[in-house]
Amino acid sequence: MDLFARTRASADAFWRQIGKKPLVMGILNVTPDSFSDGGKFVSAESALAHAAAMEAAGADVIDLGAESTRPGFSPVSEEEEWARLEPVLGALLARTALPLSIDTSKAGVARKAMVLGAALINDVSGLRGDPAMAEVAAKTGAALVVMHHRAEVDPAIDIVEDMIGFFAQSLELAAKAGVSSAKIILDPGIGFGKTLEQNLAALAATKRLQQQFGLPVLIGVSRKRFLGALTGLDTSDRLAANLAANLDGLARGAQIFRVHDVVEHVAAFKVWTALANA
């Protein structure tokens, strides 16, 4: 019996969509402490309702997270993370054909999710958090998001060169484990160990990352602190700033956008694409 047949099929179907249009990844945090929506979707009922709303709004993939990665977050055990995730993931897989992404740095959680049929592993540690993660990605056939992540902020470094070195090492780890480079997506890791200026430089480097590695780029800026620093707006009032940053990312060649506000981004991307093709 092929435990990961659904994962491979869903990952392949997702991959075929990359480049055809901007892909919207809807965020579903089943956590009590995420920075923007912590506690809103901890029950299976509320999480499933939100997932259904994002699918109806036009999301192309839904990213489920059961452990917060906000600054100062409290780590949870693999058992607790899976206990939060499993009921929502299982029910959602029974209700939707959308590919599902699992936001985790734990190889055990990722493998269990792929057994059920999730399509993507979204690893904010860039394969550095759990040495078994690359092997899980290889054996399951999942698509893999590798995110740049610095443990400490260092204003003195060239963040773009740091990203390039980091991704080169992550891709080496993936290759040694047998992960196909045709299933890897890069995420510059906006807000993870970067100053305001470094966040802006990381976003501006989207095209360079694609040219350097030949891989798709995912942008995740939704409601993040650097937008508040630029605008002076609270988390709940940053929609216009989110749209501006993501449309700039689209213009620079990013293909996937991780967002809370699916309706507005789907509409904005449709208009941008129509104008670009006019």
Is 207 tagged catalytic?
Answer: no
Q: What is the 3-state secondary structure (H, E, C) of the chain?
A: CCCCHHHHHHHHHHHHHECCECEEEEEEECCCCCCCCCCCCCCHHHHHHHHHHHHHHCCCEEEEECCCCCCCCCCCCHHHHHHHHHHHHHHHHHHCCCCEEEECCCHHHHHHHHHHCCCEEEECCCCCCCCCHHHHHHHHCCEEEEECCCCCCCCCCCHHHHHHHHHHHHHHHHHHHCCCHHHEEEECCCCCCCCHHHHHHHHHCHHHHHHHHCCCEEECCCCCHHHHHHHCCCHHHCHHHHHHHHHHHHHCCCCEEEECCHHHHHHHHHHHHHHHCC
Catalytic residue (one of 8, 128, 194, 224): 224
Is 224 tagged catalytic?
Answer: yes
Residues recognised as catalytic: 224, 258
